[in-house]
Amino acid sequence: MSLDVDMQEIAQIFIEESLEGLDVMEAGLLNLDLGAADPETINEIFRAAHSIKGGGATFGFTEISDFAHVAETLLDEMRQNERDVTREAVDLLLASVDCIRDMIGQIGDGEIDVENANAVRGQLEALLANEAVTSATPDAAAAEQPSVESGPTEWHITFVPAPGILRSYNDPIRIIRELEGLGELSVECHNADSLALGEFDPEECLLAWELILVSDAEQAEIEDVFAWVRDECELSITAAGQATPEPATPSTEAPQTDAKMEQAPEQKSVPAARKPVAKQKTATAQESSSIRVNIDKVDALINQVGELVITQSMLSRFTSDFDFTQLDLLREGLSQLSRNTRELQESVMAIRMLPISFAFSRFPRLVRDTGNAIGKKVELQLTGENTELDKTVLEKIGDPLVHLVRNSLDHGLEDPEARVAAGKPETGVLQLNAYHEGGNIVIEVSDDGAGINTAKVLEKARARGLVGMDEQLPAERINNLIFMAGFSTADEVSDLSGRGVGMDVVRRNISDLGGTVSIKSEPGIGSTITIRLPLTLAILDGQLVRVGEQCYIVPLISIVETIQVTSDQVSQLAGHAELFKLRDTYLPVLRLHELFGVACDSKDITDGLLVVAEANGQRIGILVDDLLEQQQVVIKSLDANYKQVQGISGATILGDGTVALILDTQGLLQIFYSTNTKLGKTAVA
């Protein structure tokens, strides 16, 4: 069904309200007590389903309204005390929520796929008729699997990465190597196009792969290998002999809605003119284009604009008739203007602030389903759900949190039998906590599981050459090794973890948001992973530093301390590499004036100041001439206005109109180690 432009705008409201209603339904179903449930909770779930049904009928989405009607009938029987709340009914209603969410996500396609919805609908109708239900939680992905009687399946895989995939630290070769662990793999690589040397961008991936995998693995296991790059590639996974639709041509005009860009297995050619793959949005992580704002915030904003108009009127009289006897009045007006501007800025930023409960709301269902799948009993505790942060940060922190929660469920919490043997309750506790601290938001993911096996982590790190065979590390350093690329302590690969492609991506994603992540663990007691993020990506609390006549900004969140250097604390290694001894640790020293080619007051290290900054568990000393004031700065994208520069995360305009560059601590560390390749990271970190 196609909608005209006006109806599309109205339908978008229906989509957003329906997604909110589905969240209400899911949360209510997860809170239902089996047997005689709370009437108010049942009524709340019923009202949400009724609103979705009515909206679907109004806009002609009969597939949605008809399906919602059947689910609504089951809820009505519970509401009228004609049917008890059973686990079977709750599972089916949760599956119904997933079906409606999928159908809503397909509205923009012009056609809604009801194959999976019809299967769930049949089970709902069977339950209403008091007939036996074959499966309470049908798996749509399993329905797509071909039936194989015996022996391994020959899987045909077309993998076309987006040109910018390398910039997100994803390596296609590493993904292909992971496929080799699933069975016998044959690989054919294609060149997307022939470019002149002057047109070639070394940071772009212009290759595509056709792969044939002979394996006993299910399709879901193969898809899991590509989990971190599904939004940055064209991907087709089909079994030999499985029917596939005509190849789809990616477009930058509209997002693709099917993650499996189906292509006939025998087609080996790759289009010469490739376009960037549009970002795909899944039904479970849709980014809303609107914000629901409390009327009190809007009223406050209007009042502050009124105050600003009054101040502007006060200052305007000085433009035509001013003498020095009015200087005090001018100063008072400028002070009032500064106060009004600051309050207006805070009010505008408050409009974008949303409670973190929007991110936390997905975890009760995730923990319930994952715990059931792996046979673990888990109690989820959520605290600080009303803690607010910027909408952009909120949307980007969701996926890293999902991985951390799944990692705690799989690696952290023990099986019920192991917990009882260790003298613990058989039900493990997983806690998500959020709070404000020092102008940042802190999110903690804690569990009362077995903790990190530091001996096993150290053994794996030594086996991979990450740590010297005789090198001794404190427990905190050992724990943070799990964030290194490709590192995993899992003895076998599972659907949840084991490939070592997750924790390093989590750290990078958090680092890209200007945040940090750390871990604390006690064997037998549990682990706590702490994420520290800025409240907004638009404004940064920074420390101004001076190098010669140039000013730079170091994010306050990354600064550990500032030190006056003495010559006996500095050593030279590997040619020109300088190391500074800070207590019992050696830190690399990076001279900003050498890196950026600017003049400095003095080249003697003892005449400067060393700003010790931290990123991803590693520290570096940044040599500057002087420290200036601390202030909030508005971040301007350097990539959008000029080009990406390693070691620089952005720029800002200072009060005197000059431009100051914002330093990227992680980028500076990479610059240091790339120019000092013989200096091992673990020797100085």
pLDDT digits (tens, 9 = 90+) for 350-397: 888 888 888 888 889 889 888 888 889 999 999 998 888 888 888 888
> Could you give phi then psi for residue 139, rounded to 5 degrees?
-105, 110
Average pLDDT, the chain: 78
pLDDT of residue 632: 81
Per-residue confidence band for 507, with pLDDT thresholds at 50, 70 and 90: confident
- Tell whether the model's pLDDT for residue 544 goes beyond 90: yes
442: pLDDT strictly greater than 70? yes
Contact of 447 with 527, CB cutoff 8 Å: yes
Q: Give 389's strand partners.
A: 354
Q: What is the mean pLDDT of residues 14-41?
A: 84
Least confident of 266-275, 311-320, 396-405, 633-642: 266-275
Q: How confident is the model at residue 490 (pLDDT cuts 50, 70, 90)?
A: low
Highest mean pLDDT among 5-14, 338-347, 546-555, 573-582: 546-555
569 CB neighbour count, 10 Å cutoff: 18
| pLDDT exceeds 70 at position 197 | no
For residue 445, the cross-strand partners are 432, 529
Instruction: Taking residues 495-508, report their average pLDDT.
Output: 62
Token pair listed for 43: 């009524």
In angstroms, rounded to a whole number, what is the distance separating the alpha carbons of residues 142 and 147?
A: 10
**Which region among 290-299, 378-387, 490-499, 633-642 has the lowest average model confidence (pLDDT)?**
490-499
Taking the model in full, what pTM does it have? 0.60
How does pLDDT run across 622-660, given as a tens digit for each residue? 989 999 988 888 888 777 777 778 888 888 888 788 888
User: What's the rounded Cα separation, in Å, for the pair 83 and 75?
Assistant: 9
- % residues pLDDT > 70 (the chain): 80
| pLDDT of the residue at 7 | 59
Question: Residue 459 contacts by C-beta under 8 Å, 6 or more apart in sequence?
Answer: none
Whether residue 262 is predicted with pLDDT greater than 50 in this model: the reply is: no
Residue 390 near residue 352 (C-beta atoms within 8 A)? yes
